[in-house]
Structure 1
Amino acid sequence: MLGALLGVAALLGLAAHSQPSGSNWLVAVSAFSTHLLSLGPLAVVLLVLAHLRVAALAAAVVTAFAVAVLAPTYAGGPAADDGPELTVLTANTRLGEADPEGIVSVVRSSSVDVLLLQELSPGLRDGLADAGLDQLLPHTVVEPLPGAAGIGLWSRYPLADEQGSRLTFPWVSARVLLGDGLPSPTVVAFHAAGPWPQPADDWVRDMAKLPGLLDEVAADAEPHGSTVLVGGDFNATWGNAQFRALLGDGYRDSAEQLGRQWTATFPSGYGVPPLIGIDHLLVRNAGARELDTVEIPGSDHLGLVVRVALPPG
């Protein structure tokens, strides 16, 4: 019985992994689909032990498809370039309730060059300034707003071509000017609408529009070396087909690039390990060298710190 249930769960995971998510329950199932797929081998073992050969064969077929789907994501990408390095931290601040001194402490200890914050409230913006963030990262493009809508980008280096627009929530972007003939990567701070527990309509629209946005950003970056970094809370995992559809035109997910697509960032602060990775840094014409998760005091997400190697100047 247990083997059969695990086999059905793996089959459900395979179906959810393959199809775009159109409702909140399907988004949720898809988000955990890689977990469900991992149940396939255990189902095979249990069904073999129960001498249910036909069922074991069916579970083995599902497992083979699961391996074919997941194995390439663990291969990683090519070695990062030997160009200059940029350290990026992206973090959701839980409606602005994260501790500003805690965020500044992470920025300092991780030697962060670019900070991307989602759900940036006006109060948190003021708290970060009081905690000394603007001395560490003096160049900013921020839009603090109540609730989940606020967004912010801080940089150690001067910024140019600052822009802002919105899907469900605002997003902001800018080129980071490293100087001395070095690349000037375009950095985007982004936050997709939440697909759960409310209807997923806004999330579906955001994820449908995002490929076009990424294409536009890539086109604007062409005259400046083509490097683009897009970080934020996508409210999507590798199990969501819409997220994987973003990885075209040169874009890669930094966790997958390092063979670590299971890196989990949510939920945090509840006494249990995070279960899913919905915070990402997408890179284009760049390579992730290191990736770590860090605790953001007061947030229900872990922060994602990525050390990115840029192309040589």
Structure 2
Amino acid sequence: MAQQAYMTETDNGGSGPERPGSRLRRLAHRLLHGWRGDPRIWRRGIVLAVLALLLALVMLVHSRIPNRVGNLGSLSETFLPWLGVAVPVLLVLALVRKSATALVALLLPAIVWLNLFGGLLTDKTGSGGDLMVATHNVNAENPDPAATATDVAASGADLLALEELPASALPVYEKALAGTYRHHAVVGTVGLWSKYPMTDVRAVDIKLGWKRAMRATVATPQGPVAVYVAHMPSVRVKMKAGFTARQRDKSADALGEAIADERLPRVVLLGDLNGTMNDRSLNAVTSQLRSTQGAAGSGFGFSWPASFPMARIDQIMVRGVEPEGSWTLPRTGSDHLPVAARVKLDTGA
């Protein structure tokens, strides 16, 4: 009886502890009750509704945003996933304004965003894989190249690609990685370290005037694999010029031509492409290869900048092999995060 009296007193607003969720229920009741009695809920928030529709439109037609002015299309596609952040912001504003019109309009950008990126929110990582690969832009100004090399080698990767290798630090990387990898080759500022023999190592001309891409045939236990390592030119966002990416785009086209001419059926591309899979300017490459992150990753796998990753510009892409897992590795002394993947080599290819 004492317990019953206590519960009754609490339900009637006494001094006893409040039941879990009762405060939220009262808040929701007041909100809905207030909205029912307010005929202005459909007239308020028209500006918010228009903003929601514009947000959906940008995501729907991002491929049609022209690049003629400051490469605006590529810039928007680089950070396209982040447009989803505007949805909860507009939702809060719509609730504050008590606008039913804005709430209904917000359904459209939410649906569009989920259609574009919802698949990245699920964990598609498998447990198999014959080969583990990793790539890392080590940063030419890395203060501790030896530690960076040791960290990425500890990942267990069978193949390790490094980009932005300065000549002054190259002996440090070679010494630190020698105990893990018996084979390696360096072309210009990119290099490939392998636990398996490599042949047919050569530079890939990406129209820069200096060497920042290479190709090698790696003799894995499951057969030969053509491995490309590339570091696309950097892009910049400038006040007057906009998103300057002309040289990057030219190099991407050249790399795409080289991959199109590849005769081996199994191809792996490792490197810093300075662009995302959404960027149309990388279509010469992305149209031929699969992203391991999109096929077998968990989340967006952002890799740059390392301090607060906002875009995945470091890529592992494949053709003729099956991605089994893709993820980012812990931060090193670089401004990029290393990325890794496991792939299954189809011996029947």
Aligned counterpart for 1:294 among listed residues 317, 329, 340: 329
Inter-partner Cα distance in structure 1 for 2:186 and 2:58? 41
The separation in 1 between residues aligned to 2:315 and 2:256, in whole angstroms, is: 15
Instruction: In structure 1, list runs of 5 or more residues that go unmatched.
Output: 145-149
Separation in 1, partners of 2:92, 2:340:
38
CA offsets, 1:126-156, max 9 Å, x none? 111233x133223222124xxxxx1111111
**Is the counterpart of residue 172 in structure 1 residue 214 in structure 2?**
yes
Quick one: which amino acid aligns to residue 295 of structure 2?
Answer: Q
Post-superposition Cα deviations, 1:187-238, rounded to whole Å, max 9, x if no partner, equal 1101111111362211222233443332122xx11xxxx1111011111123
Unaligned stretches of 5+ residues in structure 2: 1-44, 239-243
Q: CA RMSD in A?
A: 3.1
TM-score by length of structure 1 reads 0.80
Residue in 2 that maps onto 1:67: 114
- Taking the aligned partners of 1:73 and 1:18, their CA distance within structure 2 comes to 23
The residue aligned with 1:156 is 195
- Does 1 or 2 have the higher relative contact order (CA < 8 Å, sep 6+)? 1
Cα deviation for residue 298 of structure 1 reads 2.2
Match 2:84 to one of 28, 37, 46:
37
CA contact (8 A) 1:13 1:32 kept: no
Compared with structure 1, are the counterparts of its residues 119 and 25 closer, same or farther at alpha carbon in structure 2 (3 Å cutoff)? farther
Q: SS at the partner of 2:343?
A: strand
Out of 224, 228, 243, the position equivalent to 2:267 is 228
Larger Rg: 2
Structure 2 residue aligned with 1:191, among 231, 244, 257?
Answer: 231
Which AA in structure 2 matches 1:262? Answer: F
Check conservation: 1:279, 1:304, Cα contact below 8 A.
Answer: yes
SS of match in other structure, 2:261 = helix
Q: Equivalent of 1:255, from 277, 281, 293?
A: 293
Residues in 2 aligned to 1:57 and 1:140: alpha-carbon distance in whole angstroms: 58
Structure 1 residue 139 corresponds to structure 2 residue 156:
no
Normalised by the size of structure 2, how large is the TM-score?
Answer: 0.72
Query: Contact 1:98–1:296 (CA<8 Å) still a contact in 2?
Result: no
Shift of 1:53: 4.5
Return closer, same or farther for 1:300/1:246 CA change in 2, 3 Å cut-off. same
Moved more, 294-303 or 3-12: 3-12
Q: 1:259 to 1:159 in 2, by over 3 A?
A: closer
- Judge conservation of contact 1:265–1:274 (CA < 8 Å) in 2: yes
Task: Work out which of the residue numbers 269, 274, 277 in structure 2 matches 1:238.
Answer: 277
Q: State the partner residue of 2:250.
A: 205
How many angstroms apart in 2 are the aligned matches of 1:19 and 1:86?
A: 39
1:186: Cα distance to partner? 0.9
Contact 2:87 2:110 in 1 (8 A): yes
Query: 1: CA distance between counterparts of 2:299 and 2:281?
Result: 15
- Inter-partner Cα distance in structure 1 for 2:198 and 2:183: 6
Aligned pairs, number: 293
1:187/1:230 contact within 8 Å kept: yes
Deviations 1:4-35, CA, capped at 9 Å, x for gaps: 69634554454446547553554333211111
For residue 309 of structure 1, what is the aligned residue in structure 2? 344
Matches of 1:114 and 1:279, distance apart in 2: 15
| Separation in structure 1 between the aligned mates of residue 217 and residue 236 of structure 2, nearest angstrom | 33
Check conservation: 1:98, 1:297, Cα contact below 8 A. no
